[in-house]
Chains A and B, each alone.
Chain A
């Protein structure tokens, strides 16, 4: 087999990788905002739940989380197909790290802004969404970019719960052909191209947010 013959199965795998990555990034982003905001809430129960979630998923290896959701959870009667399991687990992990990014950026909004909002009698909810969040979200973008790329690379582990992603397809091809050098080089390139695309998209969003007279500083390079 020549390298052109590897393309079709690898592209099929790449498609699965991209699907899992994009889906888990999207769900992870929602989780990140929910948990990050809950962490700074004055409601002790909410912030406690968010703290436990973040600590648990940041403090355990992804591979073990995947095995737990795939092999252990069905034992108590809850089971999903492999792709759903992969997406959910990755989303929970990305959400946990993202929650710290959201919390950190919100906490970094100067106290003076909160005092001005209070002096104008804005409610706490209004202050969060209309005063703090628009200023904080720009600061979240660079770390979010890191998390997105990290998420993409972490998807390689889902091949171990029998999902036919890019890594899985590479392994299968190698087992048949034993052409390790070509196959793994192509696989690396595949991940790298997807990562470049992700970085580009996030940089674009950041530039969009930062541009304009309100935040004239250019994006960090």
Chain B
């Protein structure tokens, strides 16, 4: 089966710092992949590049068969705004700090983009938004504003908001790292439910190792801009091969 995401020899630099170094990475449609590793290892950068929040300098990247660079593309992204728009139609993102729009109600946060970007009918979008809110268990909060919700509730709304755009690939950038410990569970519960959706491809950057083991088809360990080791979660956590992986896992599991 062809990959839905394909990084080929991608290099990404911030000034003199190389964040991704000749990076290769393939994801199958519907696959749930967890990216782990020390901070600064490049795992969040992979998501941010996929979301077109960051450009990259060298190599080739494709998502759903669309290349990120255009042959005559200009600017940092080597692509027109129109082309980037096309890429983004297939991908959504959930941020560490939720990033809900504070001036919109929960319902409008979800409805706004499908109406304004996909030109869908408001009534149709609203009924789907209500289904999504029911799924994340927040239907009773639909007329609240983000500032009236807890962090965990805000993140669940953010997940519903991303899903309303019907992405084929959904990126989670440390979705529980900004939450109080007692709120982590409710967000992981929603992500766990999504992981059972066959068609949705998920990339998840997280420090929740037990959760990673439970929901993912594959775990990738990042270090210094490359994937050092990857594999099936049971094999990966049960019997890590690389010394660097073992070192990281023991440091994170012991604190």
Contact = CB atoms under 8 A, between A and B. Distances in A.
A193 interface: no
Nearest to A212: B145
**Which size class do B's interface residues fall under?**
20 to 34
Interface stretch (A63-71, A126-134, A152-160, A170-178): A126-134
Contacts of A123: 81, 85, 117
B248 to A, nearest CB: 28
A73 to B, nearest CB: 41
A213 B117 contact: no
A215 B147 CA distance: 8
A121 B104 CA distance: 17
A134 B102 CA distance: 10
Interface string B129-159: 0000000000000001101100000000000
Interface stretch (B18-26, B93-101, B206-214, B231-239): B93-101
A81 interface: no
B99 A116 contact: yes
A208 to B, nearest CB: 14
Given A131-B101, A213-B147, A214-B103, A120 B117 contact: yes
A130 B103 CA distance: 9
Given A213-B148, A216-B147, A118 B103 contact: no
B193 interface: no
A112 B95 contact: yes
Interface string B93-129: 1010101111110000000110011000000000000
A119 B92 contact: yes
B116 A134 contact: no
B52 A118 contact: yes
Contact of B113 (A113, A121, A124, A213): A121
Given A214-B145, A214-B147, A121 B93 contact: no
Interface of B: 51-53, 81, 85, 88-89, 92-93, 95, 97, 99-104, 112-113, 116-117, 144-145, 147-148, 161-162, 165
